[in-house]
């Protein structure tokens, strides 16, 4: 008998990658899903603990965690550099100013995907789930989340792996609100996820990813189940 | 005044990447060239020492060395796995058997190129030199050296870096003999390079890369200046 197909999910512990993980478990079965979480110097490394809770909840046995070399420091990202606080505004506002997004981590996602492909080959997974979504890509907020980048990486992965591994980006055309709607439908454990760029005890509520998340729940008429330090627009979290 | 353009070279310390480094120095000036060498679990990590000698010789001040996470172990590559000896045959022979090349390190080159792009962005380099050549690509010996892969990665790098970094593969259409001819012409310090997959004191002379190297010098009517343990075809090293 052929051994079952395996999938690897890049799991940060946020809503998007957790929703991808639920999708992978539904398609492959949790026993055939590997979760991969990477430490790259992010201030919010506590997302790894969230990823751990998610894998436990979903029954994924194989959760691989690696530390990348210290190459992102000094690259100007507010997610990493200690002297640069994360912005307190929405992605919508951030996208109005041209140039490099302050939260962009230089070429991070290609590093994550390359490690993911190597581990897929070593462990025999043929599919990588990667949770980039449409708002990550909009106006080049994150160039390494765009359909153009995803397509190029999908080609590089397929060719460079002897056509053994394919990249799936099932959220590529969904807004954050649509990801929340999908997650609600398929059972994403939102209460276990962590999105905030600041690694404090509670989610700050004011960084771009907190505000985007709150807005996405609000658009679905849902309450985000996690706790926030501050809620700027009280309408968002009744 | 604009600051001068900078290049980053992926420098393993072998003939191909050393020739790329000479090309980068000629185009950008050694003061504007960063060399990057990566340790990924290769048995022949002594190539890093060769890379160091090459940078000293060429007057490159900025030689960056990083260790990748331990992800390649167990992937079946004879360059890495201790229980798998490197083959003692030519690439030509190896290519006759289909499937994955025993010396292929799973998706290594995308990992190297991703780190290279991150460092280019952090350090302000706009060009990456990568020494994949035509024999690496022939018959899928190394899928992550093919024009198809290089093109896909070039796109991913350009898009994912906000169009700040371009990938150059100037040896892509040259055979190993043509690389040696080019290196001879532009002054590659062959005597400082290291190619052998086995990390012994002298180059073994019998692994695919030793044999390919000896053959390439022979085709140019040149003597390879480094020392070998064994020379199978004495005609190759008079």
Does the pLDDT value for residue B111 go beyond 60?
yes
Which of A207, A164, A201 lies closest to A78 in space, CA to CA?
A207
- Residue B208: inside a domain, yes or no? no
Could you give the CA distance from residue A143 to residue A106 in angstroms, rounded to a whole number?
A: 10
Could you give the CA distance from residue A32 to residue A100 in angstroms, rounded to a whole number?
A: 38
Which of B26, B15, B7, B28 lies closest to B54 in space, CA to CA?
B15
Across chain B, mean pLDDT equals: 94
Question: Which has more confidence, B158 or A230?
Answer: B158
- A107/B67 CB distance under 8 A: no
- A156/B152 CB distance under 8 A: yes
What is the pLDDT averaged over residues B159-184? 98
- B71/A75 CB distance under 8 A: no
Query: Which residues of chain A does B69 touch, with a Cβ-Cβ cutoff of 8 Å?
Result: 66-69, 115
Across chain A, mean pLDDT equals: 94
pLDDT at B95: 81
Q: Alpha-carbon dihedral of residues B193, B195, B196, B199, nearest 10 degrees?
A: 60
Does the pLDDT value for residue B122 go beyond 60?
yes
- Which domain, by its residues, includes A103? 7-77+99-190
Q: Alpha-carbon dihedral of residues A77, A82, A85, A86, nearest 10 degrees?
A: 50
Question: Which has more confidence, B23 or A43?
Answer: B23
- Residue A234: inside a domain, yes or no? no
Could you give the CA distance from residue A33 to residue B83 in angstroms, rounded to a whole number?
A: 28
Could you give the CA distance from residue B88 to residue B85 in angstroms, rounded to a whole number?
A: 9
pLDDT tens digits, A95-109: 887 788 999 999 999
Inform me whether the C-beta atom of residue B69 falls under 8 Å from chain A C-beta atoms: yes
Does the pLDDT value for residue B76 go beyond 60?
yes
Does the pLDDT value for residue B236 go beyond 80?
no
Inform me whether the C-beta atom of residue B144 falls under 8 Å from chain A C-beta atoms: yes
pLDDT at A1: 60
Q: Which of A62, A106, A117, A163 to mutate to test the interface with B (most CBs of B within 10 A)?
A: A106
What is the pLDDT averaged over residues B101-116? 97
Give residue A218's pLDDT band: very low, low, confident or very high (50, 70, 90).
very high
Tokens of B158: 């350009």
Other beta carbons within 10 angstroms of residue A198's beta carbon come to 21
Q: Closest to B119 (Cβ–Cβ): which among A66, A71, A108?
A: A71
CATH code for the domain of B179: 3.40.50.620
Q: Cα angle vertex B146, ends B143, B150, to 5°?
A: 110
- A118/B152 CB distance under 8 A: no
Tokens of B107: 């998706």
User: What domain count does chain A have?
Assistant: 1
- Residue B161: inside a domain, yes or no? yes
Which DSSP helix (H) or strand (E) runs through A184? helix A176-186
Inform me whether the C-beta atom of residue A75 falls under 8 Å from chain B C-beta atoms: yes
- Residue B236: inside a domain, yes or no? no
- B121/A106 CB distance under 8 A: yes
Does the pLDDT value for residue A238 go beyond 70?
no
- Residue B17: inside a domain, yes or no? yes
Q: Are A195 and A14 in contact (CB under 8 A)?
A: yes
Buried b (16+ CB within 10 A) or exposed e, B127-154: bbbbbbbbbbbeebbbbbbbeebbbbbb
Q: Which of A118, A120, A128 to mutate to test the interface with B (most CBs of B within 10 A)?
A: A118
pLDDT at B97: 78
Q: Closest to B144 (Cβ–Cβ): which among A67, A146, A160?
A: A160
pLDDT tens digits, A106-145: 999 999 999 999 999 999 999 999 999 999 998 788 999 9
- Residue A207: inside a domain, yes or no? no
In the stretch 184-203 of chain B, residues with CB closer than 8 A to chain A read none
**CA atoms within a 13 Å half-sphere pointing along the CA-CB vector of B155:** 17
Tokens of B215: 């053959």
A83 CB-contact burial (10 Å; exposed 0-12 / middle 13-18 / buried 19+): exposed
A25-29, A87-91, B23-27, range with the lowest pLDDT: A87-91
- A160/B67 CB distance under 8 A: no
Q: Which residues contact B70 (CB under 8 A, 6 or more apart)?
A: A66, B41
Q: Closest to A107 (Cβ–Cβ): which among B107, B140, B160?
A: B160
Q: Are B197 and B44 in contact (CB under 8 A)?
A: yes
Inform me whether the C-beta atom of residue A160 falls under 8 Å from chain B C-beta atoms: yes
pLDDT tens digits, A55-77: 999 999 999 999 999 999 999 99
Question: Which has more confidence, A120 or B94?
Answer: A120
Could you give the CA distance from residue B132 to residue B86 in angstroms, rounded to a whole number?
A: 20
- Residue A210: inside a domain, yes or no? no
Residue A162: closest C-alpha in chain B = B143
pLDDT tens digits, A145-197: 999 999 999 999 999 999 999 999 999 999 999 999 999 999 999 999 999 99
What is the pLDDT averaged over residues B141-167? 97
Tokens of A14: 């946020």
Instruction: Return the DSSP state at A232.
Output: S
- Residue A211: inside a domain, yes or no? no
Query: Which residues of chain B does A147 touch, with a Cβ-Cβ cutoff of 8 Å?
Result: none
What counts of helices (H) and strands (E) characterise chain A?
A: 8, 5
pLDDT at B44: 87
Inform me whether the C-beta atom of residue A110 falls under 8 Å from chain B C-beta atoms: yes
Which of B50, B195, B69 lies closest to B136 in space, CA to CA?
B195
Other beta carbons within 10 angstroms of residue A182's beta carbon come to 18
Radius of gyration of chain B (CA): 17
Query: Which residues of chain B does A148 touch, with a Cβ-Cβ cutoff of 8 Å?
Result: 155, 159
Q: Which of A110, A117, A124 to mutate to test the interface with B (most CBs of B within 10 A)?
A: A110
- B114/A100 CB distance under 8 A: no
Does the pLDDT value for residue B2 go beyond 80?
no
- A160/B110 CB distance under 8 A: yes
Inform me whether the C-beta atom of residue A121 falls under 8 Å from chain B C-beta atoms: yes
């Amino acid at each position: 008998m052929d051994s079952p197909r395996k999938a690897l999910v890049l799991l940060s512990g946020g809503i998007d990658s957790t929703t991808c993980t639920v999708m992978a478990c539904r398609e492959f079965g949790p026993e055939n899903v590997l979760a991969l979480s990477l430490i790259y110097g992010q201030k919010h490394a506590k997302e790894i603990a969230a990823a751990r809770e998610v894998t436990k909840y979903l029954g994924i046995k194989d959760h691989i965690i690696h530390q990348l070399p210290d190459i992102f420091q000094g690259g100007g990202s507010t997610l990493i550099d200690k002297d640069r606080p994360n912005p307190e505004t929405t992605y919508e506002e951030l996208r109005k100013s041209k140039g490099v997004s302050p939260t962009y981590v230089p070429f991070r996602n290609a590093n994550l995907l390359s490690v993911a492909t190597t581990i897929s080959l070593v462990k025999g997974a043929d599919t990588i789930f990667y949770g980039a979504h449409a708002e990550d890509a909009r106006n080049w907020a994150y160039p390494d989340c765009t359909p153009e980048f995803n397509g190029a990486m999908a080609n590089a992965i397929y060719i460079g792996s002897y056509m053994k591994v394919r990249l799936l980006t099932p959220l590529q055309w969904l807004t954050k609100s649509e990801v929340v709607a999908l997650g609600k439908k398929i059972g994403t454990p939102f209460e276990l996820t962590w999105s905030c760029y600041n690694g404090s005890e509670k989610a700050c509520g004011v960084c771009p990813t907190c505000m985007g998340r709150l807005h996405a729940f609000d658009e679905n008429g849902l309450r985000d189940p996690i706790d926030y330090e501050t809620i700027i627009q009280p309408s968002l979290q009744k």
